[in-house]
């Protein structure tokens, strides 16, 4: 297993080559099976095909995680319930059902705007796992509003509803023509809470490489991959610090695609 490397290919096959119990943290943002336009991946599979495929990659994630390891899966409304069940059936222990409220949902005319994604947080063991609360504390109302002496001076554990803006098509941090780039701030919270420096963070669905970029910044080892060659190149350039190259190579944002998830 070569660390701090980006792989091109199918995540199930790549994970199958990894040893048992070798990874500290998995963050996965799989395609949601909602018909989103990726360059080569077909995001509209039958219910059974998507369910069975999810079972396969989640059971590989279980096998490669250390006993002290954690997994976070971002998923849309359509399959959140199913992924929750698959995680439990694979042997994981439930910790939190986090709602990422992203504030910048695309405007809808005939329904309420969609402005959240589910993040399911599970651990392999139900007692022994990494959770660095001091890395992720946030100011509490006890401190700020009530001046309550019982308040922890460094703040409280974040609630399970997280507010981070999504990376909209027009934002300057948007990289290449990928329909669903995650914000670095969200990955920072997860990686800081559930891993330590020099740990190994794996993302099976690299996309634009947000997880690997944040892991690198926070001095963790990364291991990531994507099935698309053009996204693989984007990740490689991002990790090499050549974001401007992504644009020069003709992978500029396509605004018709850039907000299509929402
Ligand atoms: C929701 S996006 C991930 C976005 C990523 N979190 C980011 O911040 O950029 C899902 C990615 O999974 C990739 N993908 C789909 N099937 C795959 C597979 N079997 N193996 C590896 N990557 C896959 C798609 O090409 C797509 O880039």
Q: In the chain, which residue ranges form alpha helices assigned H by DSSP?
A: 11-16, 47-64, 77-90, 133-136, 141-144, 184-194, 210-217, 229-239, 243-248, 255-258
Reported as a single tens digit per residue, the pLDDT across 141-150 is: 888 888 888 8
The pLDDT of residue 127 is: 96
- Angle at 84 (CA atoms; ends 83, 89), nearest 5 degrees: 90
Set out the domains of the chain in order of their start, with CATH numbers. 5-258 (3.40.50.150)
Residue 205 near residue 226, CB atoms below 8 Å: yes
User: Model's pTM, two decimal places?
Assistant: 0.93
pLDDT band at 171 (very low <50, low <70, confident <90, very high): confident
206 Cα–ligand 1 center, Å: 5
Reported as a single tens digit per residue, the pLDDT across 6-39 is: 999 999 999 999 999 999 999 999 999 999 999 9
> Which residues have C-beta atoms less than 6 Å from ligand 1?
10-11, 29, 31, 38, 41, 178, 180-182, 204-205, 207-208, 210, 225-228, 231
245 Cα–ligand 1 center, Å: 21
29 Cα–ligand 1 center, Å: 7
The pLDDT of residue 244 is: 67
Residue 198 reports pLDDT greater than 80: yes
Q: What is the mean pLDDT of residues 98-111?
A: 89
Q: What is the mean pLDDT of residues 111-116?
A: 92
Residue nearest to atom 3 of ligand 1 (CA): 207
139 Cα–ligand 1 center, Å: 34
Q: What is the mean pLDDT of residues 38-64?
A: 97
17 Cα–ligand 1 center, Å: 19
Q: Which residues pair with 97 in a beta bridge?
A: 120
């Amino acid at each position: 297993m070569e660390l701090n490397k980006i792989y091109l290919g199918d995540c199930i096959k790549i994970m199958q080559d990894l040893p048992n119990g070798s990874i500290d943290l998995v963050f996965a943002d799989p395609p949601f099976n909602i018909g989103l336009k990726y360059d080569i991946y077909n995001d509209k599979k039958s219910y059974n095909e998507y369910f069975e495929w999810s079972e396969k990659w989640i059971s590989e994630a279980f096998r490669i995680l250390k006993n002290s390891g954690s997994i976070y899966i971002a998923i849309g409304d359509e399959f959140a319930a199913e992924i929750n069940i698959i995680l439990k059936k694979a042997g994981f222990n439930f910790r939190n059902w986090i709602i990422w409220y992203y504030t910048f949902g695309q405007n809808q005319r005939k329904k309420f705007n969609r402005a959240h994604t589910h993040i399911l947080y599970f651990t392999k063991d139900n007692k022994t796992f990494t959770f660095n609360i001091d890395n992720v504390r946030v100011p509490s109302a006890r401190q700020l509003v009530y001046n309550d002496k019982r308040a922890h001076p460094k703040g409280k554990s974040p609630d399970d509803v997280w507010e981070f803006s999504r990376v909209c098509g027009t934002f300057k941090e948007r990289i290449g023509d990928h329909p669903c780039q995650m914000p670095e701030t969200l990955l920072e919270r997860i990686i800081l809470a559930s891993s330590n420096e020099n740990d190994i963070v794996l993302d099976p669905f690299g996309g634009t490489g947000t997880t690997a970029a944040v892991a690198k910044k926070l001095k963790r080892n990364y291991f990531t991959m994507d099935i698309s060659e053009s996204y693989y190149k984007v990740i490689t350039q991002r990790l090499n610090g050549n974001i401007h190259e992504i644009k020069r190579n003709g992978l500029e944002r396509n605004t018709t695609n850039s907000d299509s998830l929402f």
